[in-house]
Chain A
Amino acid sequence: MSLITPDIGLIFWMVVIFGVVFFILAKFGFPVITSSVEKRSNHIRDSLAAAEQARLSVEEAALKRQQMLEETRTEQGRILREASRERDAIIAEGQQKARDEASEILRSARAEIASEKEEAEREIRAQVSALSLAVAEKVMRKELESDQEQLSLLERYSEEASEAQMS
């Protein structure tokens, strides 16, 4: 039967046609397509890898930021604590100083007061002695109103003075 006996003419044409088709498609057709597709799939693979890389680095950055934030927070706490300690120290020192100052002022004030008091006492004493002298003068004046008395007193004084000279 002719169905299963290959015909030479058809074989000839098939070789020619398939050969030409193969030549054209293998030269201008499929390599262009497959290389383009491969280029794209490589590009996609690289992009995916880059995206993964980027995701990782973002994650890393976020982690780092978190760490830094925590560090900052502890640092902040530390600084705050230190500052409050410092503040307390300064306040304490200030109070100490103020107390010292106050006691100094008090002491000097007491000394002043004491010296003022002495001065006043001295003045009072001087006044008192002056007053008593004035009083004595007044008293003497009253006793020596008579000439007699004045003379006897003179006499006594001169005696006393000559006795003192002779001795």
Chain B
Amino acid sequence: MLLPWNVSAAAQEASVSDESSSMTDEDESVDMEEYIFGHISDAYEWHIATWKGEEIAIPLPCIVFSDGIKVFSSRKLEHGASYKGLRIAAAGEPHEGKIVRVSDGSRPFDISITKNVLGLLFDSILLIVLILLCSRWYRRHDVLKEAPGGIAGLLEPVIVMIEQDVIKDAVGPEYRKYSPYLLTAFFFILINNLMGIFPFFPGGANITGNIAVTLVLAMFTFFMVNLFGNKHYWKDILWPDVPIFLKAIPIMPAIEIIGMFTKPFSLMIRLFANMLAGHIMLLSTIAVIFLTAKMGPVLNGSLGFVSVLFGIFLDCLELLVAFIQAYVFTMLSSVFIGLAHQHPEKETN
């Protein structure tokens, strides 16, 4: 939700609040923290725009387990209202912005369809449709006689590049077993990254910049690496070829076992931080326009012009980053899987 549309909506909001004399002076200035975190955080509703003081938002279903399952629309909890003993924690509370019990402020088990979940669902359906359309082309055509066109022609070079240049090189001879997972991860991250840049509904949710999403992706890689690692991989972790005193007190095994977890952890943090930082940079650049709104038309106009130019540059950069981060995640996952499938005779030590 980064983007000109929302931002212009925010401008509307700002001008509306300017007009309303009842607002305090503090409310008139743009609340940067709320503006940025409102765009990058998960939410129980999908806010699209604020139009003449009215919020245009898609209410989403809340599913909460608190004294039994409770399913209701997020509209019931708008503006701090409480419903069935539940409310959304206000700013400054421990679980800010999340559904908590009214009684003690604790967090129930909450699997609501939030903005990010809906974005994930939408992007996943889009991805499945695209890939299945592509695979349908191959089912229906003789690949030896026809050149792919349409979606197949668009996706095939990318799939071939990832499979041949990244997966095959990094994983090694057993790459076929892992290429479906790695390709899925690549396209899943790519489409969510790209949809995150897209400013309008159903794009704009900060999905891959959410640590829960990258955590799950990293977990999948962790299981792919460790569930199918060969004997040599486990021997290298638990009894590596190092002097015995490093193994008797298990220093090396301890380091290796920590390494097992730091690898996916780095994947998680890298993707999360890159996407989040990209979103925050873009939002901040656009925010310059609103922050300078009160500094007079000359400063506002010139800085606005600069920030639009810089915003265009950052958007292009984000397009590149969207691809690079998907590529890097896939490549590192491939490398980790490849490391779990090394054969001792291939080593040079």
A interface residue numbers (CB < 8 A to B): 2-15, 17-18, 20-22, 24-26, 28-34, 36-37, 39-40, 43
| Interchain CA distance A5-B120 in the complex, whole Å | 19
In the complex the two chains form, what is the Cα distance from A78 to B184 in whole Å?
76
Q: Tell me if A10 and B117 are in contact (CB < 8 A).
A: yes
State whether B180 touches A32 (Cβ < 8 A): no
Ordered by A's residue number, 14 sampled pairs between the chains whose C-beta atoms are within 8 Å are A6-B212, A8-B109, A9-B63, A9-B110, A10-B212, A14-B215, A17-B124, A21-B127, A22-B220, A25-B184, A29-B180, A29-B184, A33-B156, A39-B144
A-B contact sample (10 more), CB < 8 A, given A2-B41, A20-B124, A30-B183:
A8-B110, A9-B63, A9-B111, A10-B213, A14-B217, A15-B216, A29-B135, A33-B134, A33-B138, A34-B183
A36 cross-chain contacts in B, Cβ below 8 A:
138, 143
Residues of B within 8 A of A8 (CB): 109-111
A37 with B216, Cβ < 8 A, contacts A20-B124, A21-B124, A22-B184 known: no
What residue of chain A has the Cβ atom nearest to residue B133's Cβ? A29
Within the complex, the shortest CB–CB distance from B86 to chain A, in Å, comes to: 13
Are the C-beta atoms of A32 and B135 separated by less than 8 Å? yes
B124: min CB distance to chain A, Å: 5
Beyond A2-B96, A7-B42, A13-B120, whether A29 also contacts B210 by CB under 8 A is no
Contact B159 A30 (CB under 8 A): yes
| Residue of A6, A31, A39 contacting most chain B CB atoms (<10 Å) | A6
**Given contacts A3-B40, A6-B215, A33-B134, is CB(A12)–CB(B180) below 8 Å?**
no
Contact B132 A10 (CB under 8 A): no
Q: Is the CB of B184 within 8 A of A14?
A: no
Q: Tell me how far the C-beta of A8 lies from the nearest C-beta in chain B, rounded to whole angstroms.
A: 7
Provided the pairs A2-B97, A7-B42, A7-B98 are in contact, do residues A13 and B117 lie with their beta carbons within 8 angstroms? yes
Instruction: Return A43 CB to nearest CB of chain B, in Å.
Output: 5
Q: Are A18 and B117 in contact (CB under 8 A)?
A: no
Please give the distance in Å from B291's CB to the nearest CB on chain A: 22
A10 & B210 in contact (Cβ 8 Å cutoff): yes
- With beta carbons under 8 angstroms apart, the residue of B96, B135, B143, B215 that contacts A30 is B135
Please tell me if the beta carbons of A13 and B144 are within 8 angstroms of each other in the complex: no
B120-148 vs A, CB cutoff 8 Å, 1 = contact: the mask equals 11001001100110110011000110000
A21 touches B188 (CB 8 A): yes
B112 at the interface (CB under 8 A from A): yes
What residues of A have a CB within 8 angstroms of the CB of B152 in the complex?
33
With both beta carbons as reference points, the residue of chain B lying nearest to A10 in the complex is identified as B212
Interface of B is mostly: helix
- Partner of A13 from B111, B156, B159, B220 at Cβ < 8 Å: B111
B276 on the A face (CB < 8 A): yes
The reply to whether B135 and A10 contact each other, CB–CB distance below 8 Å, is no
Q: A32: which of B63, B124, B138 is its contact (CB, 8 Å)?
A: B138
A126 to chain B, nearest CB (A): 118
Q: If the complex has contacts A2-B41, A37-B143, A37-B160, are A30 and B131 also in contact, measured as CB distance less than 8 A? A: yes
Neighbouring A residues of B193 by C-beta, 8 Å:
none
Q: Are A18 and B188 in touch, CB under 8 angstroms?
A: yes
Q: Give chain B interface residues in 33-57, CB to chain A under 8 Å.
A: 37, 40-42
Asked if B77 is an interface residue, CB under 8 A from chain A, the answer is no
In the assembled complex, the Cα of A54 lies from the Cα of B159 at a distance in Å of 33
With A6-B215, A37-B159 known as contacts, the answer to whether A12 contacts B111 (CB < 8 A) is yes
With both beta carbons as reference points, the residue of chain A lying nearest to B220 in the complex is identified as A18
> B134: which of A9, A17, A29 is its contact (CB, 8 Å)?
A29
Residue B331 lies at the interface, judged by CB distance under 8 Å to chain A: no
- Distance in angstroms between the alpha carbons of A13 and B122 in the assembled complex: 13
Q: Which of A9, A26, A40 contacts B184 (CB under 8 A)?
A: A26
Report B-chain residues with C-beta under 8 Å of the C-beta of A12. 111
Q: Which of A5, A15, A25, A31 interacts with B128 by CB under 8 Å?
A: A25
Residue of A nearest to B62 (CB): A9
Interchain CA distance A7-B107 in the complex, whole Å = 11
> What residue in chain A is nearest B175 (Cβ atoms)?
A34
* Pair B121/A17 contact, Cβ less than 8 Å: yes
Contacts of B112 in A (CB 8 A): 9
Tell whether, in the assembled complex, residue B114 and residue A10 are in contact, meaning their CB atoms are under 8 Å apart: yes
